[in-house]
Structure 1
Amino acid sequence: MVWVVSMKPLRPHLDSFNDEGFGPIPSRWKGRCEDDNGSTFPCNRKLIGAKYFYEGYVKATGHTNVTIKSPRDYHGHGTHTLSTAGGNFVPGANVLEKHININGTTKGGSPKARVAAYKACWSHSNSRESCLDADILKAFDHAIDDGVDVISVSLGGKIRDYYDSGIAIGAFYAMKHGIPVIASAGNNGPASGTVENVAPWLITVAASTTDRDIYAYVQLDNGMRLKGKSLSEALPEERFYPLVSGADAKLANASSWEALLCRLKALDPEKVKGNILVCLMGDIPSTVKGKHALLAGAAGMILCNDEFDGNDLTAEAHFLPAAQISYIDGLSVFAYINSTKNPLGIITPPNVEYNIRGAPRMASFSSRGPNVVTPEILKPDITAPGVEIMAAYTEERGPTEVASDQRRSKYTFMSGTSMACPHVAGVVGLLKLLHPHWSPAAIRSAMMTTASTIDDTQRTILDHSLVEATPLNYGAGHIRPDLAADPGLVYDLNSRDYDNFLCAINYNETLRKKFTESHTCSFLNTPSLLDFNYPSINVPKLIGSVIVNRILKNVGPPGVYQAQIQQPLGVSVSVHPNVLRFTRADETRRFKLIMIRNSTTLYNTSYVFGDLLWSDGKHNVRSPIVVGTT
């Protein structure tokens, strides 16, 4: 977990830790903060390095010898997300130094922020890392007490109701203290209904591509040139090498399928040595396949996607020169090998290409809506870059995450909604600096209503299969920080609104006490979930007609806003009133949407989509409209 703390330009001291997990604080810092010029000034914030919490893990598992009891990051995920949210300016940052050339200066979303890490995930020996609610809640408690400004949570798991989720409960208390909590949407896409962290007091982030890509080409002796991906080093010599399929290089006692998957002890070194080995994706991690290929003596590896993975390629730091290629291109490679007695090929060194058109595009792994816990709340909320993000990395392990990898790199590329989440956290930090009195809901609204649904070719954002994505993929759209700083209007919510939300979802007193002690439901006055003042409008099942109410708050200059509607297919939407006049800051205006289903053709689709736009000629306040039809 990564938590962005003070948005003041404080110099971090995270070089060493004491037994309590705190970074050392020089005496001259006590009660004072220091800017980048070395000048100090009074401040009442606690100066935090890092903390760790593992008692819940020990109690649940019985493992007392967890990975080093320290806040240090031995995994790499926390370092990567922390630096994405608040890393300083670093000129000339690179991955594995000589392997790939990245030009320019890296920085986090809020590069002048002071950051702190609260470690709540642990593993025992080679077991999978676990993040237990008891430790997560303890981390939330400390972060809130320490006075953080923003909380970024790149964690997930199975979809659970709010009362059964440590993240949801902890984030509720953070919201009560005015702290925005940003969370990853999950990596279980492209299946629908997989989005995680769906509590309405969270800002839930999906992942997209950028306009930069990392390529390594596979060139065959028959003239074919196939575009793949890799972060590996170059071949020992720039020449064509013999190609051999894993199936053709199997040991006598191994199956062709095991060898094609390049499993351990399935490859014959005499058939592999000095050749480029062609492996099929699946069964075991691709970097482990590369390790097996290297142990068998391969000069390089071509990793071919299976049909399930299709065109989904990942640049990874393989143990040997390698390139991952698509399913269709893989078929071409196998066909070429089978068509000649002397198949030859070469793998080019990886190279970075910029200004790739058609960006952003939704990542195939990014979890999709609908929200299966509360269908009336659209999730994810917003999209940010989450594919091949370069950021800092722990030097406690190699970039392949394989124990035997002795290489070390201060930076690496990682992909996931975990990487998208801190992008938004960095933006939230800047918005908090610009608008310190905005509520977490106002900040979310500012980002959502100014987000974009078109790519850099001015067409609708596409998903991984090159069809038009929808709000179930990207929420309100791709984040645009500059516009979020001046949204004009916001859909605001306060603590009482969220208390009423718990009533609206029929939580009894016992369940509500997990979130709040003082609120009593008045079911006669509890608003409909459809009227919850969210920046998106989601009617999970429209049979005849429905009225949806919303409130807009002016956070800009006085203005007159005109409503514009993009009608969902087969649904008639009208706005009343369709003009809102604001004469001062913080003034609020109510409106309602009347939605009427007017077409039987909607039985052929599960959801239809539209937009509501309020515009004063300068500010465009857009809300996605999602209507379920079945």
Structure 2
Amino acid sequence: MALLIPICSLLFLFFTAGESDPTAKTYIIRIDGESKPSIFPTHYHWYSSEFTESTSILHTYDTVFRGFSASLTSAQLSTLKNHPSVLAIFEDKKRQLHTTRSPQFVGLRNQRGLWSESDYGSDVIVGVFDTGIWPERRSFSDVNLGPIPKRWKGVCQTGVKFTLKNCNKKIIGARFFSKGHEAAGGGIGFGGAINDTVEFRSARDADGHGTHTASTAAGRYVFKASMAGYAAGIAKGVAPKARIAVYKVCWKGSGCFDSDILAAFDMAVNDGVDVISISIGGGDGISSPYYLDPIAIGSYGAVARGVFVSSSAGNDGPNGMSVTNLAPWLMTVGASTIDRNFPAQVVLGDGRKLAGVSLYAGPAISGKKYPLVYPGKSGILSASLCMDNALDANLVKGKIVICDRGSSPRVAKGLVVKKAGGVGMILSNGVSNGEGLVGDAHLIPACSVGSDEGDAIKAYAATGRVTATITFQGTVIGVKPAPVVASFSGRGPNGMNPEILKPDLIAPGVNILAAWTDAVGPTGLDSDVRKVEFNILSGTSMSAPHVSGAAALLKSAHPGWSPAAIKSALMTTASTVNKQLQPMTDESTGNATTPYDFGAGHLNLDLAMDPGLVYDLTNADYVSFLCSIGYGAKTIQVITRSTAACPMRRKPVPENLNYPSIAAMFSTGKKGVLSKTLIRRVKNVGDVNSVYTVKVEAPKGVIIAVRPRKLVFSDKVRELSYYVSVKMDGTNVMMGESGALFGSLSWVDGKHVVRSPIVVTQLDPL
């Protein structure tokens, strides 16, 4: 009873201050659940007690996290920080979304292989954290699906234009989370009250992003699918028979709030999902420490309970150290192209033809040449970017306008051109975007071109009275090379812990066809009144659900595999070459890529069902890793709910986390011979009596020794460890342009190649 008096007085102070205080902000409070007084029947009763009429509680968390979120004034915050039952407090932050043919491209085939062996993911439940769903789409039909899995405990939450009939045997559950959003204040775009004129207070999707990602992961077969004629064919998700559970945490134009995301993790795990797909991140290429990151915390709670979590790597590439969602228990997915494109061509008055891409489907300009103008030659940045009200109608009327990419949506620039009287647009990449291109369903005849082409067109426009036209060439399949690393895909090294290679792998994320909402047109602009069943989008948002669907297939084929085992199978079978069997290249430069760009490689589901060996991980392994990076017991408890103490005598080494990739990091400035020995363990999931021999491709200037060099498995020996010794001359070794050297280690038995990338680097301690 000693705790009862201070806690009650604390709650009274906390909950009677009122929500009208303009200084109040939303916070997530991590509570030590073990200190709950027995007088309270539940943690919620403890948090709210008898003060429920004036409560500021938004969410309570009980499954993946123990605590609650609430609006606090600075005085309340100060009081809470000093309470012995409070382990951590962090401010609610806003995050952003990371925004047919791809299943075949990653190795799935009808009636054979992983699709056949997994029964297309039947009865696996994929939880999609996004903007909701448009349930009427053919991609979400439940025809010929069996009964809903008995283990499912979720609900179909009704709301605006979303009834119980919108759930079925495909969409088996739906929930929406808005309390954190509404508590944030600031109106649409910042959080605050849901704007009922542009949003649905329900799981119905007003944005389109959630419908797209859900159907990418688990959409049914849909014949005669296309986006206004582009990418015509049979649309299908990676796991067509998997069940979908919708968790709407993001709201059109105003992002996704941490407190709502954490509530969705808490609910989804309790509901019984097997896989979580989350295409959400910080949006600025900057990651928070794990103990301040609700996606890291929520996903740890999910993985610890056997739920696989696939997340997007972010769209801030090709800059280095731009990858986000870095927690080692997450699968972090970058983006690649596929062998399909939507070419367009800029034809200049002097006869030159410059390649670009476009999804424009309106009336063509039929090869007629129009005057060409670049507003940027005035030196006014807003004009070069074709921002709202920045174009002079006298300058652009009746002309094709060159606009620079950046600061506003690509399709919105075309609308600005149209309003000013322009007849077409050429959208030019800047140096930072390089040659990477994505298709857009423009509202006027428009074509995107790379940085080099853009410079050539601008130079031509500066020569005087010049003309151009744009031609559109539809859909082309068999583009080479493919895959290549998308220019925007988040890159390594891992800015939090470079000992863990991120991204983990890449998957299709450029020009992906998937289902769309009826609430907005394909551009997402309010002025776009077109209705399409399918849309084509690009981003690591599109890559993550490919891996979510892949994980669903593996979970269906191997129900006993842990999230770490599934992750290992996907990583060690990933491909590092393109379909032409050449090293993968970078879309932005055309140059060769490294594991900092693609992680373990490109998703390859031909091999993932039977990886031979897997690198498994337990909760204790993750706790040991957190100890190794200097987290204390209280900080670790914030993430894991574990109260286990770190070892006092010998501190663990972060590189020794049993990860499917291997990174050896040496401190900058050390000279002479540098050496480090790492340990890994592998579990045999293939033939019982197997013998694997090691094959090493050492980085240039580095000596890699592995012992033992042979692993012999039997009925009694299912798991074995091995040591990797890394040695180099710190005085003379020449690090590459990325500041690292790359190699690989493979275990081979004649049937399987279990490959792990090796990264050796010298970095200043973080």
Could you tell me the TM-score, scaled by structure 2's length?
A: 0.74
More displaced stretch, 43-52 vs 415-424? 43-52
**8 A Cα contact 2:499 2:655, kept in partner:** yes
Corresponding residue number in structure 2 for 1:422: 545
Residue 579 of structure 1 pairs with residue 710 of structure 2: yes
Return the alpha-carbon distance in structure 2 between the equivalents of residues 581 and 11 of structure 1.
36
**8 A Cα contact 1:613 1:623, kept in partner:** yes
Residue 477 of structure 1 pairs with residue 610 of structure 2: no
More displaced stretch, 65-74 vs 151-160? 65-74
Corresponding residue number in structure 1 for 2:662: 537
Return the alpha-carbon distance in structure 1 between the equivalents of residues 134 and 582 of structure 2.
49
Corresponding residue number in structure 1 for 2:55: none
Return the alpha-carbon distance in structure 1 between the equivalents of residues 135 and 211 of structure 2.
15
Report deviation, 1:51.
0.4
Corresponding residue number in structure 2 for 1:89: 221
What secondary structure is seen at the aligned counterpart in 1 of 2:402?
strand
What secondary structure is seen at the aligned counterpart in 2 of 1:476?
coil
Amino acid at match of 1:140: F
Which of the numbers 206, 211, 217 marks the counterpart of 2:345?
A: 217
The 5-angstrom pairing of residues 143-154 of structure 1 reads: 143-154=268-279
Which of the numbers 58, 61, 76 marks the counterpart of 2:185?
A: 61
Return the alpha-carbon distance in structure 2 between the equivalents of residues 523 and 36 of structure 1.
58
Residue 556 of structure 1 pairs with residue 663 of structure 2: no
Q: Deviations over 1:135-184 (max 9, x none)?
A: 11110011001100111111110301111011111111111111111111
Return the alpha-carbon distance in structure 2 between the equivalents of residues 399 and 23 of structure 1.
17
The 5-angstrom pairing of residues 441-460 of structure 1 reads: 441-460=564-583
Which of the numbers 758, 761, 765 marks the counterpart of 1:625?
A: 758
Return the alpha-carbon distance in structure 2 between the equivalents of residues 201 and 384 of structure 1.
18
Return the alpha-carbon distance in structure 1 between the equivalents of residues 334 and 125 of structure 2.
31
Corresponding residue number in structure 1 for 2:144: 37
**8 A Cα contact 2:485 2:598, kept in partner:** yes
Residues 274/604 of structure 1: CA separation in 2 closer, same or farther (3 Å cut)? same
Corresponding residue number in structure 2 for 1:17: none
What secondary structure is seen at the aligned counterpart in 1 of 2:152?
coil
**8 A Cα contact 1:185 1:197, kept in partner:** yes
Corresponding residue number in structure 2 for 1:27: none
Corresponding residue number in structure 1 for 2:230: 101
Corresponding residue number in structure 1 for 2:153: 46
Residues 238/436 of structure 1: CA separation in 2 closer, same or farther (3 Å cut)? same
What secondary structure is seen at the aligned counterpart in 2 of 1:81?
helix
Corresponding residue number in structure 2 for 1:180: 308
Report deviation, 1:599.
5.9
Return the alpha-carbon distance in structure 2 between the equivalents of residues 257 and 530 of structure 1.
46
**8 A Cα contact 1:120 1:135, kept in partner:** yes
Return the alpha-carbon distance in structure 2 between the equivalents of residues 322 and 21 of structure 1.
30
The 5-angstrom pairing of residues 446-525 of structure 1 reads: 446-463=569-586, 464-514=588-638, 515-524=640-649
Return the alpha-carbon distance in structure 2 between the equivalents of residues 41 and 603 of structure 1.
58
Return the alpha-carbon distance in structure 2 between the equivalents of residues 38 and 144 of structure 1.
23
Which of the numbers 232, 254, 276 marks the counterpart of 1:129?
A: 254
Residues 569/195 of structure 1: CA separation in 2 closer, same or farther (3 Å cut)? same
Return the alpha-carbon distance in structure 2 between the equivalents of residues 194 and 237 of structure 1.
40
**8 A Cα contact 1:184 1:204, kept in partner:** yes
**8 A Cα contact 1:228 1:313, kept in partner:** yes
Report deviation, 1:600.
3.1
Return the alpha-carbon distance in structure 2 between the equivalents of residues 37 and 80 of structure 1.
22
Report deviation, 1:21.
11
Which of the numbers 158, 161, 175 marks the counterpart of 2:289?
A: 161
Runs of 4+ in structure 1 over 6 Å off? 20-24
Residue 71 of structure 1 pairs with residue 199 of structure 2: no
Amino acid at match of 1:217: Q
**8 A Cα contact 1:246 1:256, kept in partner:** no
Amino acid at match of 1:548: L
**8 A Cα contact 1:571 1:599, kept in partner:** no
Q: Deviations over 1:433-490 (max 9, x none)?
A: 0000001111111111111111122221111212211111111101111211000001
The 5-angstrom pairing of residues 385-400 of structure 1 reads: 385-400=508-523
Residues 454/42 of structure 1: CA separation in 2 closer, same or farther (3 Å cut)? closer
Return the alpha-carbon distance in structure 2 between the equivalents of residues 289 and 571 of structure 1.
50
Return the alpha-carbon distance in structure 1 between the equivalents of residues 583 and 146 of structure 2.
48
Q: Deviations over 1:11-44 (max 9, x none)?
A: 99x9xxxxx99999xxxxxxxxx98436658733
**8 A Cα contact 1:554 1:585, kept in partner:** no
**8 A Cα contact 1:246 1:267, kept in partner:** no
Residue 382 of structure 1 pairs with residue 505 of structure 2: yes
Report deviation, 1:7.
4.3
Residues 620/194 of structure 1: CA separation in 2 closer, same or farther (3 Å cut)? same
Corresponding residue number in structure 1 for 2:557: 434
What secondary structure is seen at the aligned counterpart in 2 of 1:513?
helix
Report deviation, 1:210.
0.9
**8 A Cα contact 1:190 1:367, kept in partner:** yes
Return the alpha-carbon distance in structure 2 between the equivalents of residues 144 and 586 of structure 1.
33
More displaced stretch, 492-501 vs 546-555? 492-501
Report deviation, 1:317.
1.2
What secondary structure is seen at the aligned counterpart in 1 of 2:230?
coil
Report deviation, 1:563.
0.4
Residues 335/529 of structure 1: CA separation in 2 closer, same or farther (3 Å cut)? closer
Q: Deviations over 1:520-565 (max 9, x none)?
A: 3333365322221111111122651111111111000021100011
Residue 140 of structure 1 pairs with residue 265 of structure 2: yes
Return the alpha-carbon distance in structure 2 between the equivalents of residues 423 and 272 of structure 1.
42
Residue 285 of structure 1 pairs with residue 409 of structure 2: yes
**8 A Cα contact 1:608 1:629, kept in partner:** no
RMSD: 2.8
Corresponding residue number in structure 1 for 2:299: 171
Report deviation, 1:113.
0.8
Return the alpha-carbon distance in structure 1 between the equivalents of residues 364 and 682 of structure 2.
63
**8 A Cα contact 2:362 2:443, kept in partner:** no
Report deviation, 1:602.
2.2
**8 A Cα contact 1:122 1:131, kept in partner:** yes
Structure 1 residues without counterparts, runs of 5 or longer: 15-19, 25-33
Corresponding residue number in structure 1 for 2:249: 120
Report deviation, 1:267.
3.6
Q: Deviations over 1:48-91 (max 9, x none)?
A: 33101111222233723354321111111111111111111111
Report deviation, 1:264.
3.5
Q: Deviations over 1:557-611 (max 9, x none)?
A: 0211000111112110111110010113870111101111136332554211111
Identical counterparts, % of pairs: 41
Return the alpha-carbon distance in structure 1 between the equivalents of residues 142 and 380 of structure 2.
63
What secondary structure is seen at the aligned counterpart in 2 of 1:590?
strand
Could you tell me the TM-score, scaled by structure 1's length?
A: 0.89
Return the alpha-carbon distance in structure 1 between the equivalents of residues 581 and 149 of structure 2.
49
What secondary structure is seen at the aligned counterpart in 2 of 1:227?
strand
Amino acid at match of 1:147: G
Corresponding residue number in structure 2 for 1:29: none
Return the alpha-carbon distance in structure 2 between the equivalents of residues 469 and 73 of structure 1.
37
Residues 278/186 of structure 1: CA separation in 2 closer, same or farther (3 Å cut)? closer
Report deviation, 1:414.
1.2
More displaced stretch, 194-203 vs 599-608? 599-608
Residues 291/174 of structure 1: CA separation in 2 closer, same or farther (3 Å cut)? same
Structure 2 residues without counterparts, runs of 5 or longer: 1-96, 99-119, 155-171, 187-191
